[in-house]
Structure 1
């Protein structure tokens, strides 16, 4: 599958979005803070715009009003004719597409970082299209590169190699025109998930970690704009495979819950025959797959309405090609 084009010139327009889900509070309050103090996001070679993505849901501290905004940036929704009874998020998706895109156009913003919280024990997780080479280099940089002394390092920057702060990457592979998330509107982008954090609750540790990761992401873009080249590498990632549904009764009610031996074990290997659900009747339901699987977003509160108990993934090593340095623009003769 073809990769998204590697940037051939500096990234000049960057956007950081919070509140795509209105009850994920770290991104909500960081976006509100930066809207009051946008200078905190600026770097010498580019400008950064903060955006509160779903203000209506944020005002009510709800995930969404009519439908999940982060599932609404498909060409079908973005190009459909407006109707009086359409969900608020469809209207808002078109507004954001006009503000930050249009999607798949040369006028779109260069990069978007979308901020999320999860109730699951996901730690720090970056979610990216594996075909976006620039985003994959940013993930790698945030995972493994220590701060550069004296170079644009925010005081909130964390040492991400701290074993108490595991940092992982979840990837998918879709052509850009098939993607549906907010970060697909711009030329390059990715999402950041931090958890566990309850819906509608702020945690100071995750708030500070998110602010640090945003600052470090902007530092990386500044490095790239200044001509830094980044070599090819191999990277451990988790690749999305599908969803595991909750067990239900014939009437459609829950018949069981996530097994205590699985709860909070996101990214840990799950072997065939291991318990995944504890039924209300008392027995265990076992994983019936024929190979090791890695569950993610285990018992995520927002996924109950989708009947999703967890996401299935596989762990693998991928090769990411080099990110060449930009060629300096010649200075015109006077």
Structure 2
């Protein structure tokens, strides 16, 4: 099966760093590639590294006014530019003009958005459409190439859980999340994992453009179910923390009855769900403000089954 069959070559690729200004692996890599582009150069396509939130990067903070990775919705992108418009909304509009417009034929083919997490997630790819054969094949290629380093795939394919991310401007959006790394610092091992993910991602696009054959494949994904908040009192204050048995156990089983939270009074709060789930973004520092202790996921499979990547031929099934 020629993967290029029925699908146009990928000609324009962007690599975003600094969507959150204190997630430094992406910031440092993009700044490096802006000066040393030969590392990401691939024949026949434009690969454009881009610092998405320069003011936040300069201050080494997550954002200036509001989360840039939540404002690429149609309402914010259409707002009139005024002096009181949040900085990140103005920035999103500029990014949409450069790399979009979102949802149009003129939008960039692929955007990789580089992020760090304080959670113990390792290398993680974020997929937003279980029917996108191109990104399914890409994830499969990256996973095989990174072996024995694990690379998980988080599928955000739930209408109520989707958010207006910066990468959503592209026809094929791909999130790259690597951790654990505290915000505002660098770790050599985490940066190298992100660097290798991007190497293999760009290699895949090159092979795709050259018409290399990729057989039908299936990848295991963790499909987002819902977000779980910390226990709180009537004033909204957190009353329990992540239990030590759950801490640093992203992607591992959480079964009914397993410890989930722990109060300062010494009480364990167990998971009371009716099925096994796989938590991720466990105790992510940036999500305290979003009232999110972790995200519940369930295992599933994304499959590219048919010959033409130009058609929506993937199936999502429970694992």
TM-score by length of 2: 0.91
SS for the counterpart of 1:48 is strand
Q: RMSD over aligned Cα, in angstroms?
A: 1.7
Residue 252 of structure 1 and its aligned partner are, at CA, apart by 1.8
Aligned length: 303
Instruction: Give the match for residue 118 of structure 1.
Output: 117
Equivalent runs, 1:186-265 vs 2, <5 Å: 186-265=170-249
What secondary structure, in the 3-state scheme, does the structure 1 residue paired with 2:10 have?
Answer: coil
1:275-329 CA-to-partner distances (Å, cap 9, x unmatched) read 1000122111111111111100100000011111000100122322346489xxx
Does the 8 A contact of 1:101 with 1:186 survive in 2? yes
The aligned residue for residue 92 of structure 2 is 93
* Equivalent position of 2:147 in the other structure: 161
For 1:321 and 1:301, locate their aligned partners in 2 and report how far apart those are by CA, in whole Å: 39
CA deviations over 1:104-129 (Å, ceiling 9, x no partner): 11111111111111000001110011
Q: Distance in 2 between matches of 1:316 and 1:161?
A: 20
Structure 1 residue runs without a partner (length 5+): 1-5, 147-159, 327-334
Matched, 1:171 2:155: yes
Question: 1: CA distance between counterparts of 2:218 and 2:304?
Answer: 6
Counterparts in 2 of 1:17 and 1:322: CA distance versus 1, 3 Å: farther
Equivalent position of 1:298 in the other structure: 282
| Superposition misfits of 4+ residues, deviation over 3 angstroms | 321-326
d(CA) in 1 for partners of 2:227, 2:59? 29
TM-score (norm 1): 0.87
1:161-198 Cα offsets, whole Å, 9 max, x none, are: 11xx22110112268xx751111101112011100000
Cα distance in 1 for partners of 2:36, 2:307 equals 32
CA contact (8 A) 1:227 1:325 kept: no
Distance 2:266 2:276 in 1: 25
Native 8 Å contact 1:14 1:109 kept in 2: yes
Contact kept in structure 1, 2:119 and 2:180, CA below 8 Å:
yes
Secondary structure of the residue aligned to 2:288 is helix
